[in-house]
Structure 1
Amino acid sequence: MWLVGLVVVALAVAGFFWMRRTRSELHAMIGTETSTIDELEELRRISDELGARGGFRRTAEVVGAAHPRPEGLLTAALSEAPCVWYRYQVERIYEQVEQRDGRTRRVRKTETVSEHTSEEGYALIDEQGRTIGIAPAGTKPEGVEQSVERFEPHNGGGGGFGFQLGGFNFGNRSSTIGMRYKEWLIRPGTRLYALGEVHDAIGPLVLGKPQEKGHFILAAKTERQLREERTKRHRLLAIGVPVAFVAGAALTIFDLVR
């Protein structure tokens, strides 16, 4: 019982840090006004005139439509759909024999055997046709389209199974039940919200992950939706974290002093 209590306490601690991050993201969105690309270009021009060419940095939020980089569109790995960003994940569903309390049982489990997030940059374009670069930096955008969600059962002979993706072979697993394929992408023209740090280190303006402290949020949602979601999450965590911590501590102490 004390072990369960410690797990609950650990979850409460993790929930506390998640609550703090949620509140910090909410405050960042509230405290940062949406800028037009023209406004950012004007601020960069002033920075250049002051002798800081290439050193412009400013926290900003921008809204626009996803636009491909100069080299053109990407091709998503699983769906082969044209896009500016994609991410895929391949999971193996399998059964494992476990011995517990003198009994044998088969437990279904899942493991990730392959995943990849595109690293190529893209851009946002506004109604005036002005663009700003986006450096995704491995960030998983919120609310993007899920282009693939399928399960393929293992029907191979002899109990073996294997598949190959991107040059990697993931061997034979006799306990494999099947494979689950997932993919997410951003198509050109998708309306995006971006909050991060704008800089001109490579010449053109680019919005990406802050060099030091700060948040980097990319989402196929409106700022209002993002604020409402974080407000609701913070309220739930503010209630759940103290309750979980007290319950976990009580279970642990009760079991130890029994």
Structure 2
Amino acid sequence: MLLDLAPLESGEKLLFLLICMAGTLASLWFVFSRMTRYRLIADTPTAKVRSAPQGYVELIGHVIAGEDGMLDAPLSGRPCVWYDYKVEELDDDDGRKRWRSVRSGRSQHWFQINDGTGTCLIDPEGAEVSSQHKHSWRGHSAFPGGQSLDSNAVAAFFSTQIGAGQYRFTERLIFEHEQLYALGHFHTVGGGRDQLNIKDAVRDRLRSWKRDPEQLLERFDSNGDGKISPDEWQAARLAAEQEAQQEQQHLHALPSMNVLTDPQASRMPYLLSTHDETQLIQRYRWLSAGCLLGAMLFFWFFLEVLLAN
């Protein structure tokens, strides 16, 4: 064998074999996971918002703030449409230094993209987000300052990991007007597309009214005897049907809105990235190759330990 390993006891040998096998399997899982993303990005054609089919699509457009407007990044205070942040503290435990998470968070506010043919709302919940703007710096307090800096100074200050201190701050941001690559579940709502099940809507309303007997009596007990007669119950049913019809008319009057969300399927990842498509393809190709190399190394170590005397 290539490695000259010292003799191992049976317990140690079994432990090393289990570690190597676990590493091999984990690396192979990452190989297939990254390869799946690579093939999806490479093989899925880019759709236009105006003519995109309902279902799993690839969109590329420029970012626009959502209905909530611009957000303020929690650590740097920079205006953005999406953020992800983490605060860590350097923990010195028995002379072994490691970073311990203090707090973290991620924006769930919707934003939009426009590709020149139409606008699509983006729901970031559940998405794998990769941003070009990832900044890390250190400080002496768990709550960083610097929010009074102008935008140019902030951009220069956070361009690299600088400073010293026991706290480390990491922030990933998406800015308005950036180009965004999106791969997810596309669907159009409103514009008369949403059909209300009248029968179910009536049943739900009547059930809700029955949970509040006082309100039901006040509204439909026409003779004031403190009970709902069959005729009065029929009046309640007619009122529920009228409200359901009004809700259906309201749905028909809503404008059309295009929405991209998480497909919630393991084989169909939800990806959002400010890197362009070519960069993403290269990234996942190299990640797949790296994970495959890792799997081969772990398997080699497994054989070396297995065949060692």
Category of TM-score, reference length = shorter chain = 0.7 to 0.9
The equivalent residue for 1:220 is: 274
SS of 2:68's equivalent in the other structure is coil
The equivalent residue for 2:229 is: none
Q: Which has the larger radius of gyration?
A: 2
Going by fraction, where is helix more abundant, 1 or 2? 2
Moved more, 187-196 or 21-30: 21-30
RMSD: 2.2
Q: Which amino acid aligns with 2:66?
A: R
Deviation at 1:153, TM superposition (A): 3.8
Q: Give the length in aligned residue pairs.
A: 211
The equivalent residue for 1:196 is: 184
The equivalent residue for 2:62 is: 65
Deviation at 1:240, TM superposition (A): 2.9
Whole-Å separation in 2 of the counterparts to 1:244 and 1:82: 45
Whole-Å separation in 2 of the counterparts to 1:118 and 1:179: 22
The equivalent residue for 1:47 is: none
Q: Which amino acid aligns with 1:188?
A: E
Given the alignment of the two structures, is residue 149 of structure 1 paired with residue 146 of structure 2, yes or no?
no
- Give TM-score scaled by structure 1 length: 0.74
Aligned ranges for residues 81-230 of structure 1 at < 5 Å?
81-97=78-94, 106-128=95-117, 130-146=118-134, 148-153=135-140, 163=142, 178-201=166-189, 204-212=257-265, 213-230=267-284
1:21–1:84 CA distance, 2 compared to 1 (3 A): same
Whole-Å separation in 1 of the counterparts to 2:18 and 2:274: 38
8 A contact 2:126–2:262 mirrored in 1: no
Given the alignment of the two structures, is residue 232 of structure 1 paired with residue 286 of structure 2, yes or no?
yes
SS of 1:22's equivalent in the other structure is helix
SS of 2:108's equivalent in the other structure is coil
The equivalent residue for 2:38 is: 26
Whole-Å separation in 2 of the counterparts to 1:234 and 1:58: 27
Deviation at 1:9, TM superposition (A): 2.6
Q: Equivalent of 2:299, from 216, 226, 245?
A: 245
**Identical counterparts, % of pairs:** 23
Q: Which amino acid aligns with 1:94?
A: D
Deviation at 1:7, TM superposition (A): 2.5
Deviation at 1:81, TM superposition (A): 1.1
1:109–1:218 CA distance, 2 compared to 1 (3 A): same
Moved more, 239-248 or 190-199: 239-248
8 A contact 1:118–1:138 mirrored in 2: no
Segments of structure 2 that go 5 or more residues without pairing to the other structure are 1-11, 145-164, 191-255
Q: Which amino acid aligns with 1:110?
A: W
8 A contact 1:62–1:194 mirrored in 2: yes
Give CA-to-partner distance per residue, 1:180-226, whole Å, 9 cap, x none.
11111111011110111112357511112114341111111111111
Segments of structure 1 that go 5 or more residues without pairing to the other structure are 44-56, 98-105, 155-162, 166-176
